[in-house]
Amino acid sequence: MSPMKDTPSAPSAQSVRLGIDIGGTFTDLTLIDDATGELAINKSLTTPENPSLAVEEVARAGLEAAGAAAEAVHSVIHGTTLVANSIIERTGDRTALITTKGFRDALEIGREHRYDMYDLFLENPRPLVPRYLRLEVDERILSDGSVLTPLRPEEVEALAAELIENEVGAVAVSLLHSYKNDAHERAVAAVLAEIAPDLRVSLSSDVAAELKEFQRTSTTVCNVYVQGLVDRYLGELERRLRSIGIDAALLVMLSSGGVATVDTGKRYPVRILESGPAGGALAAASLGQRAGHDDLLSFDMGGTTAKLCVVEEGRPLTTPEFEVDRAYRFKKGSGLPVRIPVIDMVEIGAGGGSIARIDPLGLLRVGPQSAGANPGPACYGYGSTEPTVTDADVVLGYVDPASFLGGRMRLDIEAAREAIREHVAEPLGLDVTEAAWGIHQIVNESMASAARVHLTERGKDQRAFPIFAFGGAGPVHAYGVGSLLDSPSVIVPLGAGVGSTLGFLAAPLVFDYVRTSLERLDETDWARANSLLDEMSSEGIAVLESSGVSREEISIERRADLRYVGQGHEVSVPLPDGRLDERALPAIIEAFERVYAELYGRVAPELATEALNWRVALSGPQPPLAGGETGQEGSDSDASPKSRRPVYFNELGGYEDTPVYDRYTLPAGAQLAGPAIVEERESTAVIGPRASIEVDRLGNLTCTYD
C-alpha cells in the first residue's frame, strides 16, 4: 500500500527480507531491504480456502510497490494463525492416542478442577482425540526410568493395523514417565514406521519431554493433530513463492519469539501456534530498543482485547506453558494446555469494542464482552445500541468521527451519546460526558491492573517500564494507562511500521530443548547433567547449522528450572558456561536465590535446592532492523496543528480546545506540549496535559510525564 520512502532504489543482490503473517481477516507483509534500509508494508484479504494464494498476492504486490525484484529476496519469515484456528475449529487430521494401559482418560480427566467456583454452568475443554481413538498398550515405566512391564511389539502391531483400517492419519504416543525414559515410545514409533509408514507420529518425549502426563499428552496431541495441515500448507507455500521467482529460505515464526526452518515447523507445528502475537511483541522489543529502551511494556490494544508483554534487555519474556482453544477466552483452565515456550503475554477483554454495562451491584463494568466488528460500537451505525469503549472515546473527543480509519468510515457521534446516555449515564445519574469518562477510566484501570499483576508476578516494578503502545486503540489509551502505572513514558511508534510482520524480521533463528531430570543439586551426577546438556546443545547446533547459521554465530543459553526440595513451582536460572561440576554449585545456588528473592521477597537458605528441568536455547544472530527513518528533520517551529477541537481531560476539569497534529507531517525533533492529539491513518495518539512529546528520528512519539 504505502512504502514509507518514496524513492525506489535498486536493491543489491539478495538483500531483501519479507515478513508475512496470515491473520483471520488480512494477510500482512513487511518488506525490508537491508542494503538500502527501505521498508514497505502491504496487505491483502486472507484466502481461507487456500491461504497461500493471499501470500503470493501480497508478496507480488509488495515487491512491485517497493520496486524490488523477486530474485533479491533472501529470506521469507512466515507466521500464521492457521494452526490455532485449526485446533479451535477442529479441522485437523483424524488423530489417535497411544498411551499406557489404564491412562487413556488422562487427557479427558485433566485436572478435575472447576476453573470458576461459582459458575454452575461451565464446560470443560473437549479433548482433540475422542475417547474411541484413545488406545492403550500394556507397558509401564516407573518414575525413576526403570521398566516395570516391558512393551510387547506384537501389541503395537495389532494397533497399527487397526489405525490403518480406520483411516487414522495421525497418532500421538504418550507413555507414562517417558520424559525419563523414552525407550518404549521409540519402540512404538519403530513399529508404526514399519507397519503404517504413512501415519504421522509424534512422541511426547520428543515434543515436550516434561513431567505431568496430562499437559505432556495434550501438547503432543495438539502437535500431531495439525501436522498434516501444516505440512501440506507450508509445502504449497514454498511452491508458490518459487513460482513467482522467490528462491529464498522460508522460515517460520515460533511462539517463543524465534524463527525456525520449514522442516522444524512441519515437525513441531505446535511451536508456531502463537506466532502472530509473538511478532507484535518482537516488533515492540526491536523498535523500542532502537528508540533507546531495552526494557519496556508492550501494550497492544485492538478491537476486542488488550495484550501486554514485558520486554527486558530487548527480549520479550517467555513462559513454558499456555492454553489454546479456551472455552472462556480469559479464564485460565478453560483451554487445552500446551507446554511449549511462548512469549509471556497477558490478554484481557479490553478493546475498542468492549461493552459497558451496569452490574448487579450498580457499578459500571467494561468488558470482557465485546461488540466485535459487527455490529461493533454504536457509533459504527450498524444498529448496535450498546455503549462501548470506542463510543466513549468518540464522545470525549479522542477519536474524530470524520477521520476514523483515515476517513474511510464515518462515525455517528449521536448514536454513541445516545447509547451511553441510555445504558450508563441515566442509570447512574451522571451526564453523558461523566459516563463516557467513567468508561474510559475503568477500561484503563483494568488494563493497568492486569499489567501490575503481570509485572509483580515476575518480580518487576512497573515504574521502570515505559509503555510501548500500538494496535488500533493502544495510542488512545496509553497515556491514561501509563499515568495509572506511574510509567516513566509512553512511546507510540509510527503506526505503519508496527505490526507483527515487522517483528518477524527482527527475530533470530532459535531452537530450544528441555529435558526433565529431577535431581538435588548437592547430589547431582554432574557427568550425567553435562551429557544431557551436551546432547541438547549438539542437536541444536546441527539443526541451526543445517539452516545456514555458522557455528561461530550460534549463541547457546543453558538454564535449569530450580526450586527448593519439595516445592512444586520452579524458577528458571541461567547456568554457567562450560562443563559443570560441584565447583559451579555456589554460583548456581546464588543465581537461584537472587531470582527467588526478586520474585518472592525472601529465601530459605536452610533448604536444599533441586533441579527439575534442564533447558538449552540456541540462537543465531539477531538480524538488524535498519531503515524506517523518516528522513525529515526539523524543529518545533515546523510542528503546526492541522486543526483544533474540544477534547475532554479530567485533569483540566472538562473539554479543552486542543491542537490536532497530522502524524505524517511531524518532523523529527519536533517537541509538543500536552494536551495534544496526533492523528494518523489507523490510530490516534491522545496526550494529556501532564506530559510533553518529542518526535525522534524514527518517527516515534515519546511522551514523557511531567
Task: Give, as ranges, the residues between 265 and 304 that touch other proteins (CB under 8 A).
Answer: none
**Residue 489 CB-half CA count within 13 A:** 17
Count of CB atoms situated within 10 Å of the CB of 553: 14
Q: Which of residues 488-517 bind other proteins (CB under 8 A)?
A: none
Length of the chain (residues): 706
Pairing mode, strands 571-574 and 140-141: unpaired
One DSSP character per residue, 15-54 reads: -EEEEEEE-SSEEEEEEEETTT--EEEEEEE--TTSHHHH
Would you give the distance in Å from CA 257 to the centre of its chain?
A: 8
Alpha-carbon dihedral 482, 485, 489, 490, rounded to 10 degrees:
-30
Least separation, in Å, of the C-beta of 143 and other proteins? Answer: 4
Q: Which is nearer to other proteins, 128 or 625 (CB)?
A: 128
Residue 118 interacts with other proteins (CB under 8 A): yes or no? yes
Least separation, in Å, of the C-beta of 211 and other proteins? Answer: 5
Q: Which of 48, 102, 150, 548 binds other proteins (CB under 8 A)?
A: 102
Pairing mode, strands 342-343 and 318-319: antiparallel
Q: Which of 1, 13, 109, 190 binds other proteins (CB under 8 A)?
A: 109
**Cα separation, 400 vs 418, whole angstroms:** 17
Whether a cis peptide bond, with omega within 30° of 0, leads into 368 is yes
Site track for other proteins across 130-169, x = CB under 8 A: xxxx-x------xx----x---------xx--xx-xx-x-
Is residue 577 within 8 Å of residue 593, measured between CB atoms? no
| CA angle at 383 for the pair 379 and 389, rounded to the nearest 5° | 35
Q: Which is nearer to other proteins, 581 or 651 (CB)?
A: 651
The SS3 call for residue 455 is helix
Count of CB atoms situated within 10 Å of the CB of 430: 17
Residue 117 interacts with other proteins (CB under 8 A): yes or no? yes
Least separation, in Å, of the C-beta of 160 and other proteins? Answer: 11
Q: Which of residues 332-391 bind other proteins (CB under 8 A)?
A: 358-365
Q: Which is nearer to other proteins, 152 or 239 (CB)?
A: 152
Q: Which is nearer to other proteins, 122 or 183 (CB)?
A: 122
Q: Which is nearer to other proteins, 41 or 336 (CB)?
A: 336
Least separation, in Å, of the C-beta of 429 and other proteins? Answer: 9
**Cα separation, 55 vs 662, whole angstroms:** 32
Q: Which of 65, 211, 346, 464 binds other proteins (CB under 8 A)?
A: 211
Q: Which is nearer to other proteins, 294 or 651 (CB)?
A: 651
Least separation, in Å, of the C-beta of 423 and other proteins? Answer: 13
Bridge partners, residue 284, by sequence: none
The SS3 call for residue 524 is coil
Is residue 569 within 8 Å of residue 563, measured between CB atoms? yes
**Cα separation, 658 vs 644, whole angstroms:** 5
Q: Which is nearer to other proteins, 16 or 677 (CB)?
A: 677
Residue 703 interacts with other proteins (CB under 8 A): yes or no? no
Residues whose CB falls within 8 Å of the CB of residue 249, separated by 6 or more in sequence, listed in order? 74, 75, 76, 261, 547, 548
Least separation, in Å, of the C-beta of 437 and other proteins? Answer: 8
Q: Which of 405, 453, 542, 673 binds other proteins (CB under 8 A)?
A: 453
Residue 673 interacts with other proteins (CB under 8 A): yes or no? no
Least separation, in Å, of the C-beta of 137 and other proteins? Answer: 11
Residue 690 interacts with other proteins (CB under 8 A): yes or no? yes
Q: Which of residues 177-196 bind other proteins (CB under 8 A)?
A: 177
Q: Which of 301, 442, 469, 510 binds other proteins (CB under 8 A)?
A: 442
Least separation, in Å, of the C-beta of 463 and other proteins? Answer: 10
CB under 8 A: which stretch of 25-33, 73-81, 121-129, 670-678 binds other proteins?
121-129
Least separation, in Å, of the C-beta of 245 and other proteins? Answer: 46
Least separation, in Å, of the C-beta of 531 and other proteins? Answer: 22
CB under 8 A: which stretch of 313-321, 339-347, 565-573, 623-631 binds other proteins?
565-573
Residue 125 interacts with other proteins (CB under 8 A): yes or no? no
Site track for other proteins across 627-666, x = CB under 8 A: -----------------------xx---------------
Burial of 512 (0-12, 13-18, 19+ CB in 10 A): buried
What secondary structure letter does DSSP report for 94? -
Least separation, in Å, of the C-beta of 31 and other proteins? Answer: 41
Size of residue set near other proteins by CB under 8 A: 87
Least separation, in Å, of the C-beta of 155 and other proteins? Answer: 10
**Cα separation, 266 vs 260, whole angstroms:** 10
Q: Which is nearer to other proteins, 442 or 554 (CB)?
A: 442
Is residue 168 within 8 Å of residue 94, measured between CB atoms? yes
Site track for other proteins across 409-428, x = CB under 8 A: -------------------x
Q: Which of 213, 400, 412, 561 binds other proteins (CB under 8 A)?
A: 213
HEC letters along 294-355: CCEEEEEECCCCEEEEEEECCEECEECCEEECCCCCCCCCCCEEECCCEECEEEECCCCCEE
Is residue 314 within 8 Å of residue 283, measured between CB atoms? no
Q: Which is nearer to other proteins, 362 or 586 (CB)?
A: 362
C-alpha cell at 439: 468508561
Residue 430 interacts with other proteins (CB under 8 A): yes or no? yes
CB under 8 A: which stretch of 107-115, 182-190, 273-281, 291-299 binds other proteins?
107-115
Q: Which is nearer to other proteins, 132 or 313 (CB)?
A: 132
Angle 51-66/213-243 helices, nearest 10 degrees? 50
Q: Which is nearer to other proteins, 66 or 301 (CB)?
A: 301
The SS3 call for residue 443 is helix
Angle 183-195/153-165 helices, nearest 10 degrees? 50
Q: Which of 15, 124, 530, 632 binds other proteins (CB under 8 A)?
A: 124
Q: Which of residues 513-542 bind other proteins (CB under 8 A)?
A: 518
Residue 564 interacts with other proteins (CB under 8 A): yes or no? yes
Least separation, in Å, of the C-beta of 584 and other proteins? Answer: 25
Q: Which of 48, 64, 105, 405 binds other proteins (CB under 8 A)?
A: 105
Least separation, in Å, of the C-beta of 517 and other proteins? Answer: 11
Residue 586 interacts with other proteins (CB under 8 A): yes or no? no
Q: Which is nearer to other proteins, 457 or 522 (CB)?
A: 457
Residue 119 interacts with other proteins (CB under 8 A): yes or no? yes
Whether a cis peptide bond, with omega within 30° of 0, leads into 675 is yes
Least separation, in Å, of the C-beta of 614 and other proteins? Answer: 16
**Residue 641 CB-half CA count within 13 A:** 14
Pairing mode, strands 134-137 and 95-100: parallel
| CA angle at 458 for the pair 454 and 461, rounded to the nearest 5° | 80
Alpha-carbon dihedral 657, 663, 665, 667, rounded to 10 degrees:
100
Q: Which is nearer to other proteins, 440 or 559 (CB)?
A: 440
Residue 572 interacts with other proteins (CB under 8 A): yes or no? no
